[in-house]
Structure 1
């Protein structure tokens, strides 16, 4: 009898271990009605403070303002790169750009990389991507339904997708607009902004061309705002708003000089708003530092799914109920090839922002600095010698190898403190943080880098374009899962 009891006890223990070791068992055991639906709305080329809820006085964003009023607004959210496809590849993997194998613009995500939507799909979620994709074919394998989107901003099929979804499963939607990417496309979803309503940043020229350019950019933000409102209305109509987490953010900063691709707040800081009535108190604001590599693990966390060990980000779900909760002490970002050769790294810590430039001998350019009205006006004034010190930044050559800014007192990052004796200890500390991150994540400065694709003003035409050695290649960074420093020791 004792022998039979022991065999029964051993069988029960084995069964318990099988259940505990099944990664998605927690999620799979939850009824569909108890697991939150998740909608991620992804703007294209929108800076963090270009929404009404972030203090912009004239851009009309009533629906995004409603999202913030009914949810949580993050005031210190940072991207891992201010560049379209590398930013998206970083989000979908929860990994730094040089660890994804796709750190440069227009490089597809390699097969075999972790995809957090695949984990949601494996746990029983219906997964959708609609709109801008820009990650290559492998990334799309994580989705049950793939759509290129409809309409000028590719948002017009988002509500039909919500109507037609399977009703017996929780769902995850990756809704990615092309608003506000150039070139501008007018439509009827918003009241057009007037040039006189524009707020011209101090690093641009306050000229008619700039004001018209910015007004059209504002219009594109209003279009994604309009379709965000349609999503919120549809969730209400279906009676599922309370148990649906809606997150809004952007892939990089506004497509203007000194913004997109750059590691200043105008380029690398993102608006980040989360509404989830079942879990988040309305009107919450958090100063907690978070990174966009934390989005995937946060979604997995709320779905009850254990994040894959290759994910380098960390969940910020605890901020939903404790807005003061600390997620990280360091947010780290990259600037790699984006039409022009580049290798910069940034650390945001407390009130400080540190930038290291591997190639300070060259101008820090993006096509938006040259080929569009705001950039063209800058270049004309530069050649005429009519720029102030802030507007000359785009043309600076050589640039500082290191930059240090006190963000709270210098929101545009104009006053470089790297040479100030009173900040020497801070500079040393952040150098060490970046050195540790570089070593642990396998980041490298390429010895045979990808060269400029476009011609720089006043310089020889570059050779025929090809992607060459990319950051991390020399250390096989795609096989490295260490996240580098997150919290201070």
Structure 2
């Protein structure tokens, strides 16, 4: 069979069918020129609970390999340390109060921008497997939806990679339930021993706490095992060189003063990315990034234009220049998560500033009351045997403002907000946080969602319902301003 085609210079050329097939392949956009993207999302893991961040005893050889072969972020921050609102923030690249789903267990409303849908529209095959927790609308952006398999929901990740369409670039949202409570035994890894754990100074160093932490370590190691399986499968398929693999967590470890909180133990996330075609091995960046920046970054490397509703910014330039500046400010929220809450944070340079709209109550989450580590704290508290670093969850009233110099105070123990010598820094960060709240439509609800669970020593709450949420009063779902990103 012969086909007559007019060339660019107007000449008529005769092609055989086979020649025409080769010609079509050569001029079509080659799927392999656009990177595949694999996003691995941990559940309830703090930033320094991996070997590549200096932990001496957690066994994470595959995550350490990811950092060794790629780029490690030392200043990556979440927008909230709470499961579902964190995920809704990531998929929309918007702050929690701008998503319409700023509180735990609230589904993402229809009409919000979804970055996987933009990738899908551009020809990517999109997959989500494992924990979802964003509601049904978010899942409409994926070609394939799986609840995952196994204790941590990771066991179908490699089969998904094997069965994917081979004629499309792909985006995989692989989301584990490791290391969320309750603990589940792993057949893939050996148990950690209580004597090997590192007990944070705000917890009680007791046999119960050590066992609790050891089982937490076990869940991280299970996720590490399946991360290694993904890396090996990409190698086996010969596509590792042009596949971007990024790992991070949705919130901090499920222990007192971590999950839900705006200290680094709760709001700072481990993040590593490997893309051998572009990123030099063993690179480290201290540049400040936020998890609302993930969507714009993925879209940029895929050659897809970001949606103007996205409040994040791409950090793609860090892949080749780890010293580049992406943002001067990272903002985060603490909204209802079983207990009523309204805190806001800004992280900039060496400073972390927190403002609490509800200082008259204890800052609690389930993990600070139940489970062995929380129970050990309460037992010591009732016996009057806590040291000053272990009293945080019992403070009532709490400081309305907190200011910390992070390099000198990595656990955020010394509040500098009342010290006169830091008054100018405090005033500056007050202004920055005010600007962010105003520009993004953040509000303090007049009729906030009440406690769902009982606080120790207080009456049981009444019938529960979600009420006015942050941003509702200013229709923040329709606000697209990102607030300050770079200093003037």
Report deviation, 1:413.
0.1
Q: 2: CA distance between counterparts of 1:30 and 1:457?
A: 61
Q: 1: CA distance between counterparts of 2:420 and 2:188?
A: 53
Report deviation, 1:189.
0.9
Partner residue in 2 for 1:3: none
Note if 1:174 corresponds to 2:173.
Answer: yes
Q: 2: CA distance between counterparts of 1:33 and 1:187?
A: 36
Partner residue in 1 for 2:21: none
Q: 2: CA distance between counterparts of 1:360 and 1:296?
A: 34
Report deviation, 1:421.
1.3
Partner residue in 2 for 1:326: 325
Q: 2: CA distance between counterparts of 1:282 and 1:76?
A: 18
Report deviation, 1:420.
1.1
Note if 1:217 corresponds to 2:211.
Answer: no
Q: 2: CA distance between counterparts of 1:479 and 1:105?
A: 20
- Write out per-residue CA displacement over residues 445-476 of structure 1, whole angstroms, 9 at most, x where no aligned residue: 00000000000000011111000000000000
**Structure 2 gap segments, 5+ residues each:** 1-26
Q: 2: CA distance between counterparts of 1:452 and 1:75?
A: 35
Report deviation, 1:146.
0.1
Q: 1: CA distance between counterparts of 2:279 and 2:419?
A: 42
Q: 2: CA distance between counterparts of 1:48 and 1:310?
A: 29
How many aligned residue pairs are there? 462
- Write out per-residue CA displacement over residues 128-166 of structure 1, whole angstroms, 9 at most, x where no aligned residue: 000000000000000000000000000000000000000
Partner residue in 2 for 1:193: 192
Correspondence 1:72-111 to 2 at 5 A: 72-111=71-110
Q: 2: CA distance between counterparts of 1:377 and 1:251?
A: 26
Q: 2: CA distance between counterparts of 1:422 and 1:222?
A: 45
Partner residue in 2 for 1:254: 253
Partner residue in 2 for 1:414: 413
Correspondence 1:463-474 to 2 at 5 A: 463-474=462-473
Report deviation, 1:31.
1.8
Correspondence 1:258-407 to 2 at 5 A: 258-407=257-406
RMSD of aligned Cα (Å): 0.7
Report deviation, 1:30.
3.9
Report deviation, 1:177.
0.0
Partner residue in 2 for 1:127: 126
- Write out per-residue CA displacement over residues 261-296 of structure 1, whole angstroms, 9 at most, x where no aligned residue: 000000000000000000100000000000000000
Q: 1: CA distance between counterparts of 2:313 and 2:411?
A: 28
Q: 1: CA distance between counterparts of 2:102 and 2:215?
A: 30
SS at match of 1:108: coil
- Write out per-residue CA displacement over residues 164-216 of structure 1, whole angstroms, 9 at most, x where no aligned residue: 00000000000000000000000211111000001000000000000000000
SS at match of 1:86: helix
Report deviation, 1:29.
7.1
**TM-score, normalised via structure 2 length:** 0.94
Q: 2: CA distance between counterparts of 1:285 and 1:36?
A: 21
SS at match of 2:266: helix
Q: 1:30 to 1:422 in 2, by over 3 A?
A: farther
Partner residue in 1 for 2:10: none
Note if 1:440 corresponds to 2:410.
Answer: no
